[in-house]
Amino acid sequence: MLKFIFRRLVLEALPTLLVLVTVTFFLIRLAPGGPFSTEAAMPPEVMAAVAAKYRLDQPVWQQYLGYLADLARGDFGPSFKYKDFTVNDLVWAAAPASFRLGLFAFVIAVIVGVAAGVTAALRQNTWIDYSVMGVAMIGVVLPNFVLAPALALVFAIWLKWLPAGGWEGGKLMYVVLPVAVLCQHYISVIARITRGSMIEVLGSPYIRTARAKGLPTGYILRRHALKPALLPVISYLGPAFVGIITGSVVVESFFGIPGIGQLFVNGALNRDYPMVLGLTILIGALTIFFNAVVDILYGVIDPRIRL
């Protein structure tokens, strides 16, 4: 098991990260006029800081190695837009809001999705099943940038139950709508996956045996059916994680939440190159790490994977 973890984290995740960093480094050097030239006038002190930071006077291979060394120390350089701040300062300030939002959305998506999927599977081909799957079908298709304004219109403007935007340090009232928008798609997908695999598992011979022994349904579900039925859900957690991070970009912009997603969009709109570059690599690293963790988790549950 330790060997498996080592292989997955050190031999696979690290090289992947290195490829990501290398690809982004060389891609942006293909940009017309050099990576850090903008039409917008840049405060000279920022320009000087960037030139020094990215060693623009040195040969490319030295730039690359220096860049790797900086990243290894977790140093993303100065921001173009906010000249008194480094990218690190801004990311640290924005991280708590995004983390809170993402964590809520992720946990709720998994719990509600699995519960809905299991319910639908147990009541297969009844109106419960059909309504759960109907809602899930809509949830899969409806993009979050349509849902966000729609929910804001209904719950904030018409009913006035919840605020239409803002964060206020993450008070519950301000979290509800963003989390709902962020997790709906994943609830739907997880519900569909769970239903499908649960139906398959419930039809398998060992469940019939357990039933024949006279075990109560709840016990069969918990002890026998749930674990194999959840395997496909676990392999979906990686994509769901990426999706929630991506989705938080839309949700944060719409609801005006001061998080990483908004930082990223503003960086891209203002051409704050170090910010966009740093966040892409940071989020890439997070994703790669999370995918590795999911794989390890999968290996814990299903020993066949470890081989």
Partner 1 sequence: MNTPTTAARLMRPLPPLPGLDEALAQSIQGRSLWADARRRFLKNRAALASLVILGLIVLLCAFAALPSPHAFDDPDFENMHIAPELATAHWFGTDSLGRDLYVRTLLGGRISLMVGALGALVAVLIGTLYGATAGFLGGKTDSVMMRFLEILASFPVMFLVILLMTFFGRELWLIFLAIGAVSWLDMARIVRGQTLSLKRKEFVEAARVCGVSRWGIITRHIVPNVLGIVAVYATLLVPSMILFESFLSYLGLGVQEPMTSWGALLEQGAKAIEAAPWELAFPAGFLVTTLFCFNFIGDGLRDALDPKER
Q: Tell me which residues touch partner 1 (CB under 8 A).
A: 15-16, 19-20, 24, 27-28, 31-32, 35, 140-143, 145-146, 148-150, 152-153, 157, 238, 242, 245-246, 249-250, 253-254, 264-265, 267-269, 271, 273, 276-277, 279-280, 283-284, 287-288, 291
Closer CB to partner 1, 207 or 268, in the complex: 268
- Other CB atoms within a 10 A radius of the CB of residue 253 amount to 18
- Smallest separation (angstroms) from partner 1 to the CB of 69: 21
**Burial class (CB within 10 angstroms; exposed 0-12, middle 13-18, buried 19+) of 203:** exposed
Closer CB to partner 1, 194 or 262, in the complex: 262
Interatomic CA distance for residues 233 and 114, integer angstroms:
8
Interatomic CA distance for residues 229 and 199, integer angstroms:
8
- Name residues whose C-beta falls within 8 Å of residue 202's C-beta, 6 or more positions apart in sequence: 121, 122, 225
- Smallest separation (angstroms) from partner 1 to the CB of 280: 5
- Smallest separation (angstroms) from partner 1 to the CB of 65: 21
- Smallest separation (angstroms) from partner 1 to the CB of 215: 30
Instruction: State the sign of the Cα–Cα–Cα–Cα dihedral 194, 97, 89, 243.
Output: positive
Rg (CA), the chain: 23
- Smallest separation (angstroms) from partner 1 to the CB of 16: 5
Closer CB to partner 1, 49 or 279, in the complex: 279
Closer CB to partner 1, 67 or 210, in the complex: 67
Provide long-range contacts, Cβ within 8 A and 24+ apart, for 159-164: 164/255
- Smallest separation (angstroms) from partner 1 to the CB of 6: 18
- Smallest separation (angstroms) from partner 1 to the CB of 183: 17
Closer CB to partner 1, 132 or 276, in the complex: 276
Query: Which of 270, 287, 257, 95 has its CA nearest to residue 177?
Result: 257
Query: Which of 61, 41, 69, 23 has its CA nearest to residue 277?
Result: 23
Closer CB to partner 1, 131 or 217, in the complex: 131
Interatomic CA distance for residues 87 and 54, integer angstroms:
14
Closer CB to partner 1, 32 or 59, in the complex: 32
